[in-house]
Amino acid sequence: MQYGPDPSSIYPNENIKSICYIKNLITRPNIIVGDYTYYDDINGAERFEEHVTHHYEFIGDKLIIGKFCAIAKGIEFVMNGANHRMCSVTTYPFNIMGHGWEKATPTLGDLPFKGDTVVGNDVWIGQNVTVMPGVHIGDGAIVAANSVVTKDIPAYHIAGGNPVRITKKRFDDDLIDYLLKLKWWDWPARKIFDNLEVLCSGNLSRIKETNYEKSIVKEKFS
């Protein structure tokens, strides 16, 4: 029996060609994506990598996206290669224009570097969102459409705007802590299948019926 779509497929539902599992389309070594994370774009979900801009291997930054994320069309991940030298009189990138201006090529140490961009697991990103370099978006977070994400978003928080601001927590602290320990996205396919009703229930207390501690022990020694 099959317990859900094949995580190694490009189209999880062959009848919906606007949704692709990103992991199976990545060609760049500096982009890492978890299972079941999808990009939804009727104009070409297969071209997700085109939405990761200014991303150069020699800079060394990575885009890391977890499992079970839902990313809507119009996303842009702006990476560290977009940065200009700011410690000098001008920010103009003379060197990339050539014709002798190469002598003004900055060293990597002259350029701002924000580190890796990291998106956690089970994150929902709305349409036309821009994520700036080095941002960390926590597990279970929601980013509203048309937002510009300039700072970190904590796990299970909702954020939106330009620049982005935190609007509220999705759940109380006890439930957030429980979910971060539960890590349902790491469950095997059968266990997710068996708990779909709980995971999708509006009765949030039902999730504690899964009892993650006993589940971990059982799976470890089974």
**Residues designated as active site:** 84
> What's 159's DSSP letter?
E
Do 26 and 50 form a contact (C-beta atoms < 8 A)? no
Task: Report the b/e string of 112-126 with b at 16+ CB within 10 A.
Answer: eeeebbbbbbbbebb
Kindly tell me the sign of the dihedral angle through the C-alpha atoms of 148, 153, 155, 158. Answer: negative
Closest CA to 169 of 184, 153, 191: 153
Cα radius of gyration rounded to whole Å, the chain: 20
Q: Count the alpha carbons within 13 Å of 221 in the hemisphere toward its beta carbon.
A: 5
Q: Residue 103: phi, psi to the nearest 5?
A: -65, -15
| Other Cβ atoms within 10 Å of 69 Cβ, number | 24
Q: Residue 3: phi, psi to the nearest 5?
A: -105, 65
Kindly tell me the sign of the dihedral angle through the C-alpha atoms of 31, 72, 134, 89. Answer: positive
| Tokens describing residue 89 | 């009189």
3-class secondary-structure state, position 215: helix
